[in-house]
Amino acid sequence: MAHRGTAGEPRGLSQAQYDSGTVTISAPFCAWCGEAIPRRSGPGRPARYCRRSHRQRAFEARREAERRGISPDEVLLSRFAWDRLRDALYRLEAAAQDVALDVGSGRPTKADYAEALGHLTGAVRELQEIAVEPTAMTD
């Protein structure tokens, strides 16, 4: 799953605009995958997608949502994507429970903490590697 980073400093604003606190800046993250969008200099509205293919997939997902009557608060996923996501979340939850048990009782050593952290980060990594792309959704 994509993770969002920090937005960083806004560019293209005068110091006065930045200091006034009246300018609202949306985070530059892709509306499709959630990855940070590299900032562009120059005129024009900010990009909503990190690449053309993601703009196209979002367009196709919106079209499919319209075709199927999917409401804005619904998302349609394939069975495969749903199963992978659910399984990865289950393994993450189980890893968190294991870690809580391993370091929450007795007198855990540094090695116990290191092992627990490795177990947990492995489950997180597995979750991060899953690309969940909806079949149909509105923005």
Tell me the closest approach of the beta carbon of residue 34 to Zn ion, in angstroms: 7
Strand residues in the chain grouped as ranges (E): 75-76, 136-137
Q: Say if CB 97 and CB 22 are below 8 A apart.
A: no
Burial grade of 61 (CB within 10 A; 0-12, 13-18, 19 or more): buried
Q: Is 32 in the site for Zn ion (CB under 5 A)?
A: yes
28, 29, 36, 50: which one binds Zn ion (CB under 5 A): 50
Residue 57 C-beta: closest distance to Zn ion, Å: 8
- Considering only 10-18, 23-31, 66-74, 108-116, which stretch makes contact with Zn ion by CB under 5 A? 23-31
For binding to Zn ion (CB under 5 A), which residues are involved? Answer: 30, 32-33, 50, 54
